[in-house]
Amino acid sequence: MGRLILCAADVAKEPYTMPVSGVKVYSIEELCYYLYQNIYEITPDYFDEKLVLWLNHQLGMKVIAEKLETLLEIDGSLKDIVISILCSCDYYSEDEIKALLGVLTEIEHLPYHGKQKQKADMYLRYGRYVLAKKEYDKLLGSGYSVNLTPTEYGNILHNRAMASFFLGMYEEALIDMKDAYARNNDSRTLQQYLYALLLCGRKDEFQKEVLNYQIGSNVAEGILELYGNAKERAMESNGYQEISKLRKYATNEEIAEYAAKHIEMWKRLYREGTY
């Protein structure tokens, strides 16, 4: 969990796996710590019957398990659920819980597009690119998008482009990234667009865009240098070395077996929404 946590209550034999991030917690203190430290990414989707059963059977915390079950049945607010769990042990002080209550109130009053972006950004952060892209598509395709400022719209396009790129949808990613910069005028978006061009092997287009956006030679050279360094590190990685050896020495049957294994893995990850 990144910090020494003193557990006063029972420690579970089987951990509870947090949705999306996959982090495993073994005690009520660890669960509280995770919720507190990651409050901006917590959504109602984090709480379901699995957590109720874990609290009841693994930790023997029947009271909070029953309370959580009731809150889920009546569609209780995120604020009520989180505070109920935090108050089930003494890991955080009253003042700390009050401070978090203020944050939860702030989150509760976010506009619709703010909550949807928060959810999509969470999926993107944890590499669940299929789910992230679906949420960004839904957000930009809804009537609420007319309420977005150019900067907000551009930032969402930027993040959707990142999800698309990781899904191998390079053309769509490039279009979104260029459109994003036209709206948010953020130099980071422009740099990501230029990196994407290089990753797609479009060096001539990269040079044209450097001139088009009047990018200084020092900045352009810096981007090329960083890209070159990243490419070298990628070529030195175990995965790249494994594929290189396979292409050089393996038989057609071995290559087919290797490909089939990885295709099955990608299918599984796709079904789970983690790829």
- Sorted by sequence, the CB contacts under 8 Å of residue 65 that are 6+ apart come out as 52, 53, 55, 56
Task: Determine the pLDDT at residue 3.
Answer: 47
pLDDT band at 268 (very low <50, low <70, confident <90, very high): low
Q: Is 24 helix (H, G, I), strand (E, B) or coil?
A: strand
* Rounded CA separation 255/258 (Å): 5
Q: Dihedral (C-alpha) 120, 124, 126, 127: value to the nearest 10 degrees?
A: 130
Task: Determine the pLDDT at residue 9.
Answer: 57
Residue-wise pLDDT for 185-244, tens only, equals: 999 999 999 999 999 999 999 999 999 999 999 999 999 999 999 889 988 888 778 777
Which tokens belong to 42? Answer: 């917590």
| DSSP summary character for residue 243 | H
Q: Dihedral (C-alpha) 105, 108, 113, 119: value to the nearest 10 degrees?
A: 100
Does residue 2 have a pLDDT over 50?
no
Residue-wise pLDDT for 29-61, tens only, equals: 999 999 999 998 888 888 999 999 999 999 999
Which tokens belong to 152? Answer: 């907000």
* Rounded CA separation 69/66 (Å): 5
* Rounded CA separation 243/255 (Å): 9
Q: What is the largest CA-CA distance in the chain?
A: 66
Secondary structure tally for the chain: helices H, strands E: 14, 2
Residue-wise pLDDT for 56-84, tens only, equals: 999 999 999 999 999 999 999 999 999 99
